[in-house]
A and B are shown apart, each in its own frame.
Chain A
Amino acid sequence: MTGLATASLVAASISFGSTSAALAGTTLDAVKARGELICGVHTSLYGFGYPDEKGAWRGIDIDMCRAVAAAVLGDDKKVKYVPLSAQARLTALQSGEIDMLSRNTTWTLTRDTANGLNFTGVNYYDGQGFMVAKKLGVSSAKELSGATVCVQTGTTTELNLADFFRANKMELKPVTIEKYEEVTGAFLAGRCDAITSDASQLAAIRANDTPNPADYVILPELISKEPLGPSVRQGDDQWFDVVKWSLFAMVEAEERGLTSANVDAALKSPDPNVQRILGVTGDLGKGMGLDNKWAYNIIKMVGNYGESYERNLGMGSKLQLSRGLNALWTNGGLMYAPPMR
Chain B
Amino acid sequence: MMAVSDQRATTVTSVPWWNDRRIRAVLYQVVVLAGVALLVAFLVSNTLDNLSSRNIATGFGFLSREAGFAVSESVIPYNPADSYFHVLIVGLLNTLKVSVLGIILASLIGTVVGVARLSRNWLVARFAAAYVEGLRNVPVLLQLFFWYSLITEALPSPRQALNPLPGVFLSGRGLRFPEPVWGPTHAAMGVALLAGIAVAWGVARWARRRRERTGQLFPTGRVAAGLIVGLPLLAWLFGGAPLAMDVPELRGFNFSGGLSVTPEFTALLVGLVLYTGTFIAEIVRGGILAVAHGQTEAGLALGLSRGQVLRLIVLPQAIRVIIPPLTSQYLNLTKNSSLAVAIGFPDLVSTANTAINQTGQAVEGIAVIMAVYLTVSLSISTFMNWYNRRIALKGAR
Interface residues on chain B, number (Cβ under 8 Å): 53
Report if B332 contacts A (CB, 8 A).
no
Residues on B with C-beta less than 8 A from A27 are: none
Nearest-neighbour CB distance to chain B for A241, whole angstroms, equals 18
Which of B72, B80, B362 is the one whose CB lies under 8 Å from A173? Answer: B72
A110-B152 in contact (CB<8A): no
Please name all residues of chain B whose beta carbon is closer than 8 Å to the beta carbon of A148 when the two chains form the complex. Answer: 173, 253-254
A209 within 8 A of B: no
B53-75 vs A, CB cutoff 8 Å, 1 = contact: the mask equals 11111000000000011111000
Q: Is the beta-carbon distance between B360 and A146 smaller than 8 angstroms? A: no
A118 to B, closest residue via Cβ: B55
B172 close to A190 (CB less than 8 A): yes
**Which residues of the partner chain A approach B369 to less than 8 Å between Cβ atoms?**
4
B339 & A2 in contact (Cβ 8 Å cutoff): yes
CB-based A-B contact count at 8 angstroms: 170
* A: number of interface residues (CB 8 Å): 59
Q: How far is the CB of B220 from chain A (nearest CB, A)?
A: 47
B350 at the interface (CB under 8 A from A): yes
Knowing A2-B342, A189-B152 are in contact, say whether A154-B71 is a contact too (CB < 8 A).
no
Which one of B43-51, B114-122, B308-316 is at the interface? B43-51
Interface digits, B241-266 against A, CB 8 Å rule (1 contact, 0 not)? Answer: 00000000001111010000001100
Q: Which residue of A lies closest to B344 (CB)?
A: A177
Determine the distance from Cα of A273 to Cα of B91 in the docked complex, in whole angstroms: 58
Closest residue on chain B to residue A132 by CB atoms = B253
B357 touches A162 (CB 8 A): no
**Does A14 lie at the interface of the complex (its beta carbon under 8 Å from any beta carbon of B)?**
yes
| Option from A111, A144, A178 in Cβ contact (under 8 Å) with B353 | A178
Q: Chain A residues near B357: list those with CB within 8 A.
A: 86-87, 90, 153-155
Say yes or no: A4 contacts B342, CB within 8 Å.
no
Considering only residues 12-30 of chain B, those with a C-beta below 8 Å from chain A are: none
**A212 adjacent to chain B (CB < 8 Å):** no
The answer to whether B53 touches A146, judged by C-beta atoms less than 8 angstroms apart, is: no
B343 in contact with A177 (CB, 8 Å): yes
Across-interface contacts of A94 in B (CB, < 8 A): 54, 56, 360, 362
Q: Which 9 pairs from chain A and chain B are nearest by CB? A: A115-B360, A154-B357, A116-B56, A162-B80, A116-B54, A177-B344, A114-B57, A189-B152, A191-B152
Chain B residues in the interface with A (C-beta under 8 A): 43, 46-47, 49-51, 53-57, 68-72, 79-81, 149, 152-153, 157, 172-173, 251-254, 256, 263-264, 338-339, 341-344, 346, 349-350, 353-354, 356-360, 362-363, 365-366, 369
